[in-house]
A and B are shown apart, each in its own frame.
Chain A
Amino acid sequence: MAPRTQLKRKASTAAAEAEAAAFSDSEFGDGVLEGVLSDDSEDEENSDDEAEDVDGQDEDLDSDEVPSEEDPDEKEDEEHDGPRYRVEKDANGGERYVYEEIDPVYDSDDSDAQDPENTIGNIPLKFYDQYPHIGYNIDGKKIMRPASGQALDALLDSIEIPKGWTGLTDPATGKPLNLSQKELELLRKIQMQEIPEEGYEQYPEYVPWFTHEEEKMPISAAPEPKRRFLPSKHEQQRIMKIVRAIREGRIQPYVPPEERDKEEDEEEEMYDLWANEEAQPPHVMHIPPPKQPPPGFDLSYKYAILLPLSAFFLPNKEEKKQWEETDPDEREKKYLPASYDALRKVPAYDTFVKESFERCLDLYLAPRVRRTRLNIDPNSLLPKLPRAEELRPFPTVGAVEYNHGSRVRSLAIDPSGEWVASGGDDGAVKFWELRSGKQVASIRISADEPVNAVKWRPGSAILTAAAGQDVYFIVPPMLDQEVQQASRAALDAGFGYATNGKTATLTSNGNRKDPPGTWARPGARLEDQGVLLKITVRADVKVINWHRRGDFLLTVSPTGQRSAVAIHTLSKHLTQIPFRKLPGLAQTAQFHPSRPLLFVALQRTIRVYDLQRQELVKAIQPGARWISSFDIHAASGDHLIVGSYDRRLLWHDLELSARPYKTMRFHPNAIRQVKYSRSFPLFADASDDGTIQLFHGRVHNDLMTDPTLVPLKQLKGHKVVNNLGVMDIDWHPTNPWLVSAGADGMCRLWA
């Protein structure tokens, strides 16, 4: 209905305006027209608005109001500030506010403007019959009575009845009440006796909710039980259970959590935990945590004595830098000592929390070990040694030098202690006066072979010297005639036996067996010089040793296989090979100083043989890889020193064990010779490093007391030539003096 009217009105806008103008001029004030136009404009488009504005202005000009009032209004209109209304006079001459039109633009609140509706309420419209309007719209504007009653229009309407025309007027709007298409359709359906509503099923499928058949007998004939009318016992039980729980306190009334926390605090009961304490001895395996050390001076907040100079007591720059550079975990101290001149200046300790955390970790994570801390003077560990004065005398300095000229392989001091004999690479044996260092004699016993060993016969003035396979017996020419005579007699005594060669035995295959040693005169030239006797053995002799009585002589030739060790009897000019077979290479051998025992040093072991019973008594194992020399303690006969090429000096107590009592490794190079002093508790060794080491070695008579070994001195002086230093040493028989033979061709007396 509405769109139709609008369309129509649009088409006849101009006409209507003219009409209205005429109408209003004749009947009403100009304001009324304005109201009508504004009413319409709400539905119309912008073009209409413009037109309306034009109209409004025309209207203003026409109005009989004072123009002065109008101007500011217009301005306000344009500027959109100030009151949005005009004050006009109404028909009765009273003031009247005319409000401006609200233009519902796109984003205004009033987006869905509704059709103008009469707001007069539920009163008969005839009340307005005498007015040009029929009510007010929501804006308080008059709703003008629609134009009606034009004869021509009525005629036209009567000729062309629009669809849905009823001929009635809508009491609410006063417009003709037409029926809508829907209503017309409904009417049509009613007229045609059709079902007015679409989709309504007139005869739906029947659902048999209840059986239509009536049962003859009831399903259960039991009467209503009594329990239906009594309170439940089971429920009673359940309730009582809860009641009991509440009474016993098993169920407690609900308490909000915060209150509960509070209670918790208060509920802690206190009692004497140690009321009936009884001490228990701590478990053996329990290790209490170590306490943290008490703070020292350097932790003080004020450490310095004097403030301006505090830098001295505090860590200086370098120390500080060093501390900062080290890793925090590796710092010796976790803090730097500091000094503040007042308590208020002390800052917070940065790592306090960290340190206590680390303490916690230590307490539960660090493995604990019980360590016995030796809170003793470290020097109390040291053995009680005799004082240095008690150890004297011992040789300390090189006193005399003897220049042999070539490498000295061996040397020996004669039993009287006045002469020194030395044998060198040049094949000569030289005799020296011990104290002065003067050479008294020189005998060249071999042209091409070096003299490997020299040894004095105990108790007499006979020197044995070994060069190559020959052992020479020399009576030195510088001695007294009487002594010489006695010596010659001793040497010649054996010739009477003439065992030499005659006792040669046959071997199993019939060959004539080579004698183990041939005794002979060395030749006229040597005999003139005092060399009176010569033994030739099967291999090169390296070591000569005499029996203490001076009758037996021992030669060792390491390359000699089974005949490596030979025992010679001087009085009978007899040579014997004591061993059918040796378990290794014989290095050196020696008679026991007091008992009939023979010590033979093989490469790794020293074997002790009983000469009378002809059996092995003991095998000593020094643990060295290659024994170079050994010596037996003369006084006790139970102690042994062993020198080895693998730089070890070993002290053996024969009573104690086959293993060394002490191992001394003080040399950087091989040890060539070891010797006990015969008259002092001293022993010495000679090494390839050119030094001689001197030890105090006292053997006690008491078997329970261990021997005292004290390193005394290193004697340096010999030069190292071709990796050879000191070749041989010998002690003076009566004085604390030592002679040494050097690879540099010098012999020295140390006193």
Chain B
Amino acid sequence: MGRIKKKGQSGAAKNYITRNQAVRKLQLSLPDFRKLCIWRGIFPREPNNRKKANKSSTASTTFYYAKDIQYLLHEPLVAKFRDQKALEKKISKALGRGDVTDAARLERNAARPEKTGRPPYTLDHLVRERYPTFVDALRDLDDALSMLFLFASLPSTPAVPAKMIARCERLCLEFQHYLIVSQSLRKSFLSIKGIYYQATIQGVDILWLVPYKFNQRVVGDIDFRIMGTFVQFYMTLLKFINFKLYSGVGLVYPPKFDQSRDESAAELGAFTLEGNAAKALADAAAPAQITNGDEEKSTDPKTQAAVNKLIKQMKNTGVERQQDVVTTSTDAEDAAIDKFEPAAPGGDILPQPVHSSGDPGSLFANCTFFLSRETPRQPLEFILKAFGCKRVGWDAVLGDGAYTTDPLDPSITHQIVDRPIIQAAQEASDNQSAQKLGPNQRVPGRTYVQPQWVWDSVNDEELKRPDIYAPGAQLPPHLSPFVQSTHGGYDPTIPLEDQEPAEEALADSDEELESDADEDEEEEEEDEKATAKPAFKAIKGASADTMDVAGSEDDEDEEDGEGDETFGGFSEGGDAEEDDVEAEEEDTELQYQKELIAEMTGEPVAQKPALNPKAKAKADARKKLLAQAKEEAEDIERAKGMLSKKKRKLHEQMMYTNNKKSAEDQKLREKRRKLEKQKAKKASA
């Protein structure tokens, strides 16, 4: 016999610890504890049984996993926090004595303990502990990137110091540079919130959101201290990730940063990437130097000379080296996996990763872009360069670092325009247009497109037809590339016929019949239909003649079904339809009894002849469908009656969410159907 177990000695009571207990155990203040939790990635838990975890108390508290807190006890930061607290006490004591110089000295020392000039603590070890491998860190990069990109665009306030913003901006630009060099950006999406980007680094998909370049509105009570704590960690994280990524492609980190160019809004152009000399010598395949587009202008002559020397040296050694990114990528293609074709029939087919025909990284390689001054330069520059474009020019007002600022540069192949066509200003003086272009004037031999063209091309991995995206044209819808189509879900890319379920299609065609009969009714009905199941409604609202045809058999089925539907206590909701049907039931009961008798005796039921062959066919199809649906519903109801209460609840919950989703899709399809119909009507008229 085992020892008698005492309550509160094991299990949930020991596994969980409330927040107050944790704070007391760590001897920290609440803000310090919060900071630690954010940095260490410690989060509250929801125990299976709160009562068991909280010693039978039902007070609402936050629980932490006890071992997390235990682990925090050894955290070096805790000691740092305590030191800080002691120092603050000393300072306040000095101030209380009126000893200002002493206080100032203490405070100065706080900024550099042991007078080494170092910050009091770094978060490096936290990054390593939270993410034991590099891939782990990449997996958690979504939030970090979104937050850093947001902070990079915030105005500086006392809560958000300018230094932090500048640092965020630098880190983000460095990361963008990596994406450009490694060509690992995959998709991008213009949303109402901002621009979503997706990159794949070492097989990990990273999705982040960058706000549009506007002054961010700060509404509500937003605690920037909390966000700042997060950003502090994210900055450290991204710094190390950048380092690892840069050194992975043989670049020096941090890249050279040109303060003066940054001040003239060069952004990406303010950085000069350099090859890692030591690494380049050691690793033959590494590119010697990679600079962004306009190297002649941007590189420092000294470093250029040094690099040239290096290249010469490397050439002398007689080893073949590739110095271009593009050539290295061809090398990668050789290493790509082969396609396995089944030689003989009968074998299983194993799925293989698909290698798309065109390399997405060189989508815009042969184009020279010019951005008009009304276009958003930063995202366009980034996305174009990330997809292989080497020459991006823009209007001088958009900042420094352009390939060209001359709109008449003959090398430009594409110009991105986002302004309406002005009709009135057509007769602008022709003779002086050599210098300045008129509002609607085009340079011949150049493609003019709206910005969406870039995004749609990137997402579809092919250059889209530019005429659809011409300035002033009605743009096609911009669809999210992140949506995975599910069965039964609404997909705007597929024609309606391919995705609507049979019953919806039938309801739709039924509608058409009605609309032939009378137009006015349709409007009302459709409004109705939006709220209820269309299939059933359509039948009920159908005009008299179709009703007669379908009526007899349908109602039999319907009543049958209903009888079973209301069978148990499980469908207590009592569908609204049921009430509607009730009246009809009464009418049809007689006929139905008659039919039964006829069935028993084996006589055929007298049927009215159908009026319209087309209508009849439709009615038949609908009848069949309805009968099938009824039968299925009946079966489900019966089976549900046999489930245990718990499982039934689960089933009902699942059905609820599924129905909700499908109702939404249905609504969207409904809208589209209506739209297409109107379009067709317009075309015929």
Contact = CB atoms under 8 A, between A and B. Distances in A.
A665 interface: yes
A131 B139 CA distance: 112
Nearest to A294: B482
Nearest to B114: A250
Given A279-B133, A352-B150, A300 B44 contact: no
Interface stretch (B87-95, B124-132, B294-302, B317-325): B124-132
Contacts of B143: 289, 292, 359, 363
Interface in B343-383: 374-376
A369 to B, nearest CB: 4
Given A338-B192, A346-B212, A252 B115 contact: yes
A374 B646 CA distance: 14
Interface string A319-335: 00000000000000001
Interface string B631-650: 10011101111110001001
A368 B46 contact: yes
B642 A710 contact: yes
Contacts of A309: 675, 678-679
A267 B192 contact: no
Interface stretch (B217-225, B460-468, B609-617, B619-627): B217-225
A277 B132 CA distance: 6
A280 B133 CA distance: 8
Contacts of B482: 294-296
A353 B124 CA distance: 27
A374 B650 contact: yes
A703 B108 CA distance: 85
A300 B190 contact: yes
B478 A267 contact: no
Nearest to A268: B239
A304 B477 contact: yes
Contacts of A378: 651, 654-655, 658
A366 B43 contact: yes
A291 B209 CA distance: 13
Contacts of A264: 117-119
Interface string B371-414: 00011100000000000000000000000000000000000000
B348 to A, nearest CB: 25
Interface stretch (B62-70, B280-288, B433-441, B510-518): B62-70
A285 B65 contact: yes
Given A369-B46, A381-B651, A382-B639, A296 B450 contact: no
Contact of B118 (A267, A279, A693, A714): A267
Given A364-B43, A367-B63, A341 B474 contact: yes
Contact of B230 (A300, A306, A360, A713): A360
Interface in B203-222: 207, 211-212, 214-220, 222
Nearest to B208: A292
A278 B190 contact: no
Contacts of B219: 350-351, 353-354
Contacts of B189: 295, 299-300
B43, B67, B150, B207: most-surrounded residue (chain A CB, <10 A) = B43
Interface in A365-390: 365-369, 374, 378-379, 381-383, 385, 387-388
A344 B418 contact: yes
B647 A356 contact: no
A312 interface: yes
A378 B658 CA distance: 9
A709 interface: yes
Interface in B223-259: 223, 226-227, 230, 239-240, 243-244, 247, 253-254
A274 B564 contact: no
Given A295-B482, A368-B44, A344 B675 contact: no
Given A360-B226, A368-B44, A710-B642, A301 B117 contact: no
Interface residues of B, number: 115
Contact of B127 (A273, A306, A312, A693): A273
B191 A295 contact: yes
B459 to A, nearest CB: 11
A288 B222 contact: no
B569 interface: yes
Given A277-B133, A343-B452, A383 B675 contact: no
B8 interface: no
B634 A388 contact: yes
A711 B638 contact: yes
Given A250-B115, A356-B150, A709-B642, A714 B567 contact: yes
Contacts of A343: 190, 375-376, 418, 450-452
Contacts of B38: 363-364
A585 interface: no
A357 B127 CA distance: 22
A350 B217 contact: yes
Interface in B577-598: 596
A305 interface: yes
B133 A278 contact: yes
A664 to B, nearest CB: 8
Contacts of B641: 664, 666, 710-711
B419 interface: yes
Interface string B128-154: 100111100101101100110010001
A712 B638 CA distance: 7
A353 B150 contact: yes
Nearest to A647: B569
A367 B45 contact: yes
Given A291-B142, A305-B675, A711-B641, A296 B119 contact: no
B211 A349 contact: yes
Contacts of A302: 190, 452, 475, 477-478
A312 B563 contact: no
Contact of A297 (B226, B450, B479): B479
Contacts of A296: 480, 482-483
A272 interface: yes
Contacts of B196: 294-295
A349 B194 contact: yes
Contacts of A524: none
A39 B224 CA distance: 79
A267 B569 contact: no
A650 to B, nearest CB: 15
Given A304-B477, A361-B226, A711 B44 contact: no
Interface string A436-471: 000000000000000000000000000000000000
B474 A348 contact: no
B480 A300 contact: yes
Contacts of B112: 260
Contacts of A250: 114-115
Contacts of A388: 631, 634-635
Contacts of B220: 354
Interface string B651-671: 100110010000000001001
Nearest to B15: A285
B501 interface: no
Contact of B568 (A267, A312, A666): A666
A307 interface: yes
A666 to B, nearest CB: 4
Contact of A301 (B478, B567, B638, B658): B478
A484 B436 CA distance: 124
Contacts of A361: 226
Contacts of B569: 665-666, 668
Nearest to B67: A285
A297 B672 contact: no
B492 interface: yes
Contact of A344 (B150, B193, B374): B374
List the 8 closest pairs (A to B, CB-CB), nearest first. A294-B482, A348-B214, A378-B654, A382-B639, A367-B46, A299-B191, A367-B44, A369-B46
10 contacts: A271-B243, A272-B244, A279-B132, A294-B207, A295-B196, A341-B475, A348-B211, A364-B34, A365-B44, A378-B655
Given A273-B128, A273-B244, A352-B193, 4 more contacts: A272-B247, A299-B480, A343-B418, A363-B143
